[in-house]
Amino acid sequence: MIAPVHLLLGPETGEKEQSLKQIRDALRKESGSDLEMHRFYPFETEKGEIFVALNNNSLFAEHRLVILSQAEGLNASMVDALATYIANPSDTATLVIISSETRLSAKLLKAVPKENTKIFYELFDNQKFGWVRDFFKKYGLTITADAIDLLLSMVENNTQELRTISSQLTLFWKTGDEGRPITEDDIQTYIHHSRQEDAFTLFPYIAKGDLKMSIASLHAILGSGDSSSGILLVSGLLWQFRRLLSIQEQMEGGADEYEAFSGAKVLGKSVAVRSPRDKGVYHQGRETYSVGECRAIITALAEADLATKEAGSEMLPVVLERLLYRIISCKGRPLSSVGFATL
């Protein structure tokens, strides 16, 4: 019988998702029907919504799976309420508490039985290479060492992203010559065919101070037809400049670049820079923009967030072009009163 409460901890997103999937599949098999599923975040539990989902039987399903994500953000009163529930859980619901941290409140850790608590650590560098090689071997494919190194440089250190990109590459390769190993050139071809423009493909051009390529990337993003692309673009750039500022401030305080990359934070949350590709981008950004300029750019992005939401579809490209000009050419300083023509 599946336990009524599970605690999944640690930064390794992929394995946690696999564990959650195993719990979900086991519950479906045990109940003999589909589940009613709910997912909550700490800010959505202030009025006890999660306990309504846990305690109220459903008219449409035998069992309920309730997931609480980002549990590191729980306040003390919510921890107390959860500990009380865990002491006497519903027999028609299963609660899965998930956090990217390896430890939570002592009260919560004590409430959940140790056998139902799992910690998922990120892969060590010497494990990632073998993980990728074995993934392709499972599908009857081989991949060269250089191709694996390039693939690993493209992703953050979690198996969820590794599995996703490796699966996509496997499907891509099935349309080509399966009789030979996947090479570094094949990875480059895959990147060219599958690349989608977004804030994270735009940022390297901004980091280099390349206004022309930044504008070209911007129009590729806007050409996607996604009505939310402008808002997502600004929020994505804001996140990256906050990360860059964190690196800049640490180095200003005496840390070397390696220490600053490892200790990078955004809004208090650890966002270490690990991949060689990202390290190169943030190194370039550090040389292009000073600490004061990063702060001015963050202010500009915060102002642009509102302007982007208010802009109509016709004015949005102009608003965002002005923003890129302010970031790259003015280093965050306000634009002059002179009008700005579309580049």
Enter the pTM of the model: 0.49
- 326 burial via Cβ count (<10 Å: 0-12, 13-18, 19+): buried
Q: Which domain holds residue 24?
A: 5-119
Same domain, 163 and 110: no
Domain boundary pick from 133, 168, 194: 194
- Reply yes or no on whether the pLDDT at 339 is more than 70: no
Same domain, 233 and 273: yes
Of 33-47, 269-283, 315-329, the range with the highest mean pLDDT is 315-329
- Reply yes or no on whether the pLDDT at 224 is more than 80: no
C-alpha distances (whole Å) from 128 to each of 100, 199, 290 are 19, 27, 35
Same domain, 15 and 101: yes
Position 223 confidence tier, pLDDT thresholds 50, 70, 90:
confident
Output 343 or 264, whichever has higher pLDDT: 264
Same domain, 40 and 101: yes
- 24 burial via Cβ count (<10 Å: 0-12, 13-18, 19+): middle
pLDDT score, position 342 = 42
Is residue 340 in some structural domain? no
CA distance between the termini of the chain: 64
Same domain, 306 and 219: yes
Is residue 338 in some structural domain? no
User: Among 68-72, 124-128, 192-196, 254-258, which stretch is predicted with the lowest mean pLDDT?
Assistant: 192-196
Q: What is the pLDDT of residues 138-175, one digit of tens each?
A: 888 889 988 888 787 766 556 777 777 788 788 777 65
Q: What is the mean pLDDT of residues 179-189?
A: 80
Is residue 342 in some structural domain? no
Is residue 333 in some structural domain? no
pLDDT score, position 336 = 64
pLDDT score, position 217 = 87
pLDDT score, position 338 = 38
Helices (H), the chain: 13-31, 49-55, 76-87, 106-111, 125-138, 145-153, 159-174, 184-194, 199-208, 211-222, 229-252, 257-262, 276-288, 291-310, 316-328
Same domain, 109 and 147: no
As a whole number of angstroms, the distance between CA 155 and CA 109 comes to 31
Domain boundary pick from 148, 168, 194: 194
Position 267 confidence tier, pLDDT thresholds 50, 70, 90:
confident
pLDDT score, position 192 = 56
Same domain, 139 and 248: no
- Reply yes or no on whether the pLDDT at 137 is more than 60: yes
Is residue 341 in some structural domain? no
Is residue 115 in some structural domain? yes
Is residue 105 in some structural domain? yes
Same domain, 163 and 115: no
Percentage of the chain modeled with pLDDT above 70: 88
pLDDT score, position 205 = 94
Is residue 230 in some structural domain? yes
Query: What's the CATH number where 165 sits?
Result: 1.10.8.60
Domain boundary pick from 194, 223, 240: 194
Q: What is the pLDDT of residues 198-213, one digit of tens each?
A: 778 899 999 999 999 9
Same domain, 20 and 91: yes
Same domain, 31 and 90: yes
Same domain, 129 and 109: no
Output 309 or 41, whichever has higher pLDDT: 41
Same domain, 209 and 310: yes
The structural domain count of the chain equals: 3
Q: What is the pLDDT of residues 64-107, one digit of tens each?
A: 999 998 888 888 999 999 999 999 999 999 999 999 888 888 99
pLDDT score, position 173 = 77
Output 281 or 122, whichever has higher pLDDT: 281
pLDDT score, position 193 = 59
Mean residue pLDDT of the chain comes to 84
pLDDT score, position 343 = 43
Query: What's the CATH number where 61 sits?
Result: 3.40.50.300
